[in-house]
Amino acid sequence: MVARETRQDVVRAAVGRLGGWVAGLRWSDVPAEVRARVLTVLVDTVAVTALGSREPAQRALVESWDPPTGSAPLFGTGRTVAVDAAAWLNATASVRLELDDGHRLAGGHPAAHGFPAVLALASRRTTTGTDLCSALLVAYEVAARFGRATRLRPGTHPHGNWGVAGAGAGCARVLGLRPDDAAVAIDAGSGLPVAGPFSAALDGNPVRDAWVGAANQSGLAAARLAASGTGHLTGVAAASLGDLIGDLDPNALDDGLGERWEILGGYFKQHSSCSFTHAAVDAALSLRDRVDGYPEEVLVEIHSLGAQLDRTRWPTPLAAMFSLPFVVATALRRGRLVPADLSADALADPSTEDLARRVTVRAAADLDARLPAERPVRVTVSTARGRFVAEQPNPVGDAAYHPFTPDDRARVLGDLLGAPDVVTGIRDHCAALPDAADTGERLRALGSVTRFR
């Protein structure tokens, strides 16, 4: 009798195929649209990392870390530090302000989980521009595929778990590993997840940012394990992601590999808050000039994924970014939601607190029925003069709803940074990377461009 194939067998086989694709991908074979998107995501990642590096909490973290000098740029600071330190610190800076890009169907942030590690590792090795760009692409694609394949247990935050496999894939490509070893790196990465509670973000605990730092360092560790020749491909994700912290569909790992490009399905942010809140902010902004009178009540109807973001206390900026009452109140009052609106004074603003207490968050069955193709929100503002309603199917900037072009994204980043010339410099340096014979100096020059004076 032939033994029945187990889910672990299917995962192991799929990861083996992913490893072959990671090792064999040629940048010249990647469609032009995808190559352009990789560079746009890179520009976004570097810019929001530099922006996050300005934050007092991030500066304090860097100071406490006291990273040794090395080859890898610490974006926004003008410093170069050791590879592992850069991977961790750039990763935490990139998610510090909730402005990093993401992927709705993966349910998280593929680039943040692997780009910092890939860039840091490439700065120390002789890595061609095409190999670096290929490494960034495979980091994103593998992470997004693991994200789409994984359904996390309720209450689990997506930072630091399924994305580690992408970090392992990208670092394996930088190291030039063979197909079998690249598969081991992906496998090992999928066996190094963080099982972090979503409540940490709601509470405003910055350990949530550290999970992305850990993911990048774990990706480095996974690739180094594979490079040592001591790894062993077993399909460990079947247990780590598929049993312990969620459910895993192994068939989704390599479905349409090389034909469907996940990076084209991502989104870019314009509001400094959790992606679940963005459609609500967009709706609130669209109502701002229509509302007649002071809001007596505000009802935010949302899908059940976002209904938990209903807290009316925000002890830290992170907690505020995960509070629908705060972000909607801020949008109605200030007409925006940017890093300046997360300052200590803004968080303690009594007018914002008063309006936020008038916000009710409610899950709506009709909106739930539109998941996952949409993440819809309906906002109703009631005043003494009437009711004003706005509905959004997805946030502006989603691939499926008013997506940003590269120029759109550069404009938004320039506004957020308050320095359009810095974004222009980042774009120019990123555009030159594919032609570089050795990207180390190019990456350090890119780091210098991001330094704020």
pTM: predicted TM-score of the whole model, two decimal places? 0.96
User: Is there a contact between 270 and 396 (Cβ–Cβ < 8 Å)?
Assistant: yes
Are residues 18 and 115 both part of a single domain? yes
The number of folded domains in the chain is 2
Are residues 289 and 266 both part of a single domain? no
Can you tell me which residue has the tokens 């590999």?
257
Among 392, 422, 437, give the residue marking a domain's end: 392
Give the N- to C-terminal CA distance of the chain in Å, as an integer. Answer: 71
Q: Name the token pair of 184.
A: 């081991």
Question: What is the secondary structure of 93-128 as a DSSP string?
Answer: HHHTTS-S-EETTTTB-HHHHHHHHHHHHHTTS---
Arithmetic mean of pLDDT, 40-68: 97
Please tell me the predicted confidence (pLDDT) of residue 304.
95
Question: 306-363 pLDDT, tens per residue?
Answer: 999 999 999 999 999 999 999 999 999 999 999 999 999 999 999 999 999 999 999 9
**φ, ψ (nearest 5 deg) of residue 39:** -70, -35
Of the CA atoms within 13 Å of residue 367, those in its CB half-sphere come to 23
Q: Cα angle vertex 44, ends 113, 333, to 5°? A: 105
**Residues β-bridged to residue 381:** 298, 388
DSSP three-state, residue 388: strand
163 domain residue, yes or no:
yes
172 domain residue, yes or no:
yes
Cα dihedral sign, 420-424-426-430: positive
Question: 363-398 pLDDT, tens per residue?
Answer: 999 999 999 999 999 999 999 999 999 999 999 999
Whether 3 shows a pLDDT value over 70: the answer reads: no
CATH assignment of the domain containing 15: 1.10.4100.10
Arithmetic mean of pLDDT, 223-242: 98
User: Is there a contact between 134 and 25 (Cβ–Cβ < 8 Å)?
Assistant: yes
358 domain residue, yes or no:
yes
Q: Name the token pair of 157.
A: 């935050």
Are residues 224 and 361 both part of a single domain? no
H runs (alpha helix) in 123-250 = 129-149, 164-174, 179-190, 199-203, 207-227, 237-239
Are residues 240 and 289 both part of a single domain? no
Length reported for the chain: 453
Domain residue limits at 232: 7-270+407-449
